[in-house]
Amino acid sequence: MENILEVKNLKKYFPIKKGLLLKEVGQVKAVDDVSFSVRKGETLGLVGESGCGKSTLGRALIRLYEPTSGQVQFQNQNFLDIQGAELRKVRKDIQMIFQDPYASLDPRMTVGQILSEPFDIHGIGTTEERKKSVMNLLETVGLKPSHINRYPHEFSGGQKQRICIARALALEPQLIIADEPVSALDVSIQAQILNLMKDLQAKFKLTYVFISHDLSVIEHLCDRIAVMYLGKIVEIAPRDELFSNPQHPYTQALIAAIPRIGEGKKKMKKSLHGEVPSPINPPPGCPFHPRCSQKLDRCSQALPELKNHKQGAEHKTACWLYEK
């Protein structure tokens, strides 16, 4: 299967400035040398604790944040080199669904105006054609065409997220980056939105990069999973392989922390201790070693490479435990 997206050595550092002259005194290494690929038609999950750089990575992929360095190959062209009208043209094919549907919809605009905006920006269709397209989009995501003149405050949280999904679909994109699209919703509504996204993926042959801190959501939706910690990918594998054979100690701890029926408050053997280190001053060597119960001497001295440790296996881990 061909790759629709290839990311190589991507970095996004935010400068820290102080003083009257706003002199740069440091950097927040939010995304630090990340490489991965996304195949056409699949759902790649990005998972990790809050503050690990997942959302920053998603926004850097779509250039809402301009990356500090690295490459993003989208449909065999370097997305980071494109500017102006050409960038606008390519952006039709890569869209984003944001975490908070309450904040991502303009309260002064009707649903019809919100969903017409992508067509206005790209100069697509007449007024009548746009209205027809908007009504079709509303039906596609399970809303009524009669809702076209309502304002966002008249909808529930789940309905607002359906509007956000409709807006992302408006220009018939190839790739959608979904940044925690169900975390702000009730659990009963989450399942409806996830099932809607699966149905839309099958119907429109979409590719997803799905960002979440919830492994049970990731397990339900994703084909492959990349685990992030402190701005780096520490493990990437197909879903079933990752859940049956997690290799990195951080992944093992995340999976052990998933609530299971009948276990109550039983203490997990691989539970995490301590806090995520600051991305301003990450620890030397493996970023996870200060919290790792299986660490070796070399873990604090050198950074492990993300690679396959079994021949032929499609399972990459950045961990010294598996080096011969």
Segments in the chain forming alpha helices (H): 54-61, 84-91, 111-122, 127-140, 157-169, 187-204, 215-221, 239-244, 249-256
Q: Is 209 helix (H, G, I), strand (E, B) or coil?
A: strand
Region 93-102 average pLDDT: 90
Are 189 and 158 in contact by the 8 Å Cβ rule? The answer is yes
Lowest model confidence (mean pLDDT) among 126-130, 236-240, 259-263:
259-263
The pLDDT value given to residue 262: 64
User: What is the C-alpha to C-alpha distance for residues 91 and 82, in angstroms, rounded to an integer?
Assistant: 10
13-43 pLDDT, tens digit each: 999 999 888 898 889 999 999 999 999 999 9
Percent of the chain at pLDDT > 70 equals 95
Rg of the chain on CA atoms, in Å = 21
pTM of the predicted model as reported, rounded to 2 decimal places? 0.91
Region 177-206 average pLDDT: 91
Q: Give me the DSSP letters along 21-38.
A: TTEEEEEEEEEEEEEEEE
pLDDT class for 51, splitting at 50, 70, 90?
confident
